[in-house]
A and B are shown apart, each in its own frame.
Chain A
Amino acid sequence: MSVNGILGRDVPFFRGKWPLTFSLLAAIFLVWYFFGLKDEYPRAGSWTGMAFGFIALLLMIFLISYKIRKHVYTIKLGTTNTWLSAHIYLGVLAAMIAIMHSGISPASGFNTFLLATFLLTIVSGVVGGLIYKLNPIVLAKSGREVVLKAQILEAILKRWEESDKEVEGMSDSCKELYKSRVKTVIASGIRWGYLFSTETELIGKRKHFFDKLKDEVPNDEKYHFSTVCAQLLENERLAVKLVKLEVMDVWLAFHMPLSGVALSAVIFHVFTVYYY
């Protein structure tokens, strides 16, 4: 199997057996649920509701165990890729089952909180899945250099060092312009403001900014200053990439604690249901 040359490739959004598995399971649970429908939706207290609750609990335990699988490298129960696919699809299924378990009408305040937390976790998971799916493709297509975060940061810092050295040899007015205007505008690390920018748009803005700045530079140094600015434009392009890469880490830092809260809430819920 090969990439189709290097000129482009199809990236199917849904692939593998999990979409079909999810569809089949969802259909089974829906039929089961509506089969029990008499005058009203089966509630949590009914046998159907309790069965759904139990299944949702088991699925939640499985979803949490993905964290263990990811970090214990010798478990021979499927690849991490399979576990992640299962984690995503069964997560959405678990959300569906949890809603059906609640009878589509949440009861007391705490249970509403539990359901809301759980659904929020699942929604954040779906959002994360989209980010993890689309981000790498966007990043890969946008340039030929390697898109490793550490290398991008290195490249940005290195370019700043080189620019600093070049400016050292220029006049004081240029140095002042560089320190007070260029350095404050051009990124030297992660810039969240660039999250929704495209490289083309940002480069266009910066070029316009540099063109205006050149008017303030002595004539004999205009060329040299332009060269320095052109190098720093590359940093802006890399900064757009960097912030898009950072999104994935930030999302994970949000999703993990939320999952922890949802798990704690469901344990409390199970405890209260069985003991009170």
Chain B
Amino acid sequence: MQQILEQYLAKVPLFHGTDHYEIFKLLKEYRVQEYNPGDYVCRQGEYNEDCGIVLEGVIHVLVPVPGTKVPKRIPLPPGEIFGEIAAMTGTPRTADVVADSKAALLKISRDRLFKIMDTFPIVKQRLDAKYIERALATHLASIGIFSGLSKSFLDELKDKVVLKTYQKDDLIFKQGDDADAFYLIRYGFVKVAVSDGRGGEKVVSYLNEGSYFGEIALLTNEKRSATISALNRAEIIKIAKVDFDDILARQPSVKTALEKIAQQRLDRTVQVTSNAALSQAITAAVNQGVIQSKAVLIMDISKCVHCDNCVKACAALHDGQTRLIRRGLKYSDFIFLPTSCRNCQDPVCMTKCPTGAIKRDLSGEIYHMDHCIGCGSCARLCPYGNISIVTVVEKAEKGRYIDRFFFSVMSKLKFWGKGGAEGEVPDGKTAERMKFPGERTLVERPESEKLPGERDMFSTSAPAMQAEPKKKVAKLRKRAVKCDLCRDYDFMGCIYNCPTGATRRVDPTDYFFDLKSAG
């Protein structure tokens, strides 16, 4: 196998000039996945920490084109790498990938990819260059006002742009700076703030992937009107002023559209800075990382009667350990954000797990596997205190006696939710999760389109249960617990058991839409 793999690696342009045996050793964990014609390798919007190298066959990337239903098909011949953007940045897949012939892919995990890039800088350079080439084309094509740019212009432009990576709290530019570039957000969140005149700042809004900024000062030929800083790890495409002017000259419609957006943003700045309550709410939500999550639990204080049924239900469904704490950020007069995992888009809790026990499934839900050793790394890293380290009893009975009694007696009538029976393992099929009004389903995949021949650990259905080896553990042990959206059940316990409907899970970028700038 090693020799065969090395032969394949020799054909991969990315690894030309490197020691293939070293690469093989660095790979350590890899999978070779086979696909039949028509099989989907992955779907747009899925989370996956692997990237793939085409070993055999032809794979096509289906890039969505705004305004049409027909996607653009980009072929990936043998030796090509794909999914490296999603793997490196932890973002959802940006396109569907489908096998057009019988194909074999080498799947490399994210940390192995980073190891290879660290060991062979030439690999990193090639990946960065490929990243710019693909990122710019995909990104500009996805922004409506730039979709009319010609391929030849994009080809010229991609050699001139600069791709910059910012870490959390890094300054991109400050209010009052000279305007020298236009910026596109490839990935991540940035904060837009203005000075409050007393040395502090007022957060006006935020921007995330798909947005752009820096146009106001370029269009008005004035200084920067706001300070932009990164809220988390952000990838920004920087287009110099001269190239930006070139874009406007070639596409006057772009200038008109940008002027409109710029005016809306300026109006918004005035609106926020003149309203103290709005400004405080936005500052709190943005600085507390609310909008960087995928599914935040909110409580409507105007309906909450403090019965604590949500907390009691959570504890009852999770071996007596509640994962919901009714303390946290108050966003506005009516909206309260309790302490509960938000399934962040860029989860820092996952970065330092020594055993790989914290995972993210295809829908983006983050969960702990049973072999967690309770070291506390994830709990310390979580900036919101949403992970707790608790002592659990091995083979703890799931749920209370009364729940298990009802389940065992009534489950044949199909009236009771899954879970609650001692030692029972779900059958691996994804249960249809009950939907609540406004609840966003992260990913929906019909059964027939599940990844074929794939190991169960990448299935959306209770992978923790299926992937676990049977091994003895100590009777009492520590482990990390956090809200996992009740993966073992058909419903979310806190929401399902709230008597007044005060509790909901929402996608914050939809729910708090009024926090985001126009454009």
Contacts and interface: CB of A to CB of B under 8 A. Distances in A.
A3 B335 contact: yes
Contacts of B402: 72
Contacts of B305: 132, 135-136, 248
B416 A136 contact: no
Interface string B406-435: 110000000111011000000000000000
A141 B309 contact: no
B334 interface: yes
A1 B333 contact: no
B293 interface: no
Q: Which of B281, B305, B419 has the most CB of A within 10 A?
A: B305
A30 B71 CA distance: 61
B371 interface: no
Contacts of B495: 79
A140 interface: yes
B125 to A, nearest CB: 45
A198 B335 CA distance: 23
Contact of B309 (A2, A70, A151): A70
Interface in B466-516: 489-491, 493, 495-502, 510-514
A140 B299 CA distance: 12
Contacts of A3: 332, 334-335
Contact of A144 (B333, B415, B502): B333
B204 to A, nearest CB: 15
Contacts of A9: 302, 334
Contact of A6 (B333, B491, B502): B333
B498 A81 contact: yes
Nearest to B414: A76
Contact of A76 (B277, B330, B491, B512): B491
B368 interface: no
Contact of A136 (B303, B330, B406): B303
B302 A136 contact: yes
B42 to A, nearest CB: 31
A6 B502 CA distance: 17
Contacts of B437: 1
Nearest to B329: A146
Contact of A75 (B331, B415, B436, B511): B415
A72 B407 CA distance: 11
A162 B493 CA distance: 40
Q: Which of A83, A135, A137, A146 has the most CB of B within 10 A?
A: A146
Contacts of A135: 305
A9 B302 CA distance: 10
Interface residues of B, number: 55
Contacts of A11: 302
| A interface, size bucket | 35 or more
A145 B284 CA distance: 13
A175 interface: no
Contacts of A7: 275, 277-278
Interface in A84-140: 84, 132, 135-137, 139-140
A253 interface: no
Contacts of B399: 73-74
A3 B275 CA distance: 17
B317 A74 contact: yes
Interface string A7-19: 1010100000000
B489 A5 contact: no
B301 interface: yes
Given A80-B498, A245-B306, A139 B301 contact: yes
Interface in B423-473: 436-438
A148 interface: yes
B316 interface: yes
Contacts of B328: 146
B336 interface: yes
A114 to B, nearest CB: 28
B330 A144 contact: yes
B301 A140 contact: yes
Given A2-B513, A81-B499, 11 more contacts: A6-B332, A70-B497, A74-B317, A74-B403, A74-B420, A80-B499, A81-B500, A84-B499, A132-B305, A136-B500, A140-B334
Which 9 pairs from chain A and chain B are nearest by CB?
Answer: A6-B332, A81-B501, A140-B301, A73-B313, A84-B499, A137-B302, A80-B499, A1-B438, A140-B302
15 contacts: A6-B332, A7-B278, A9-B334, A72-B402, A74-B399, A74-B417, A75-B406, A79-B501, A135-B305, A136-B303, A140-B333, A144-B330, A144-B333, A149-B306, A245-B306
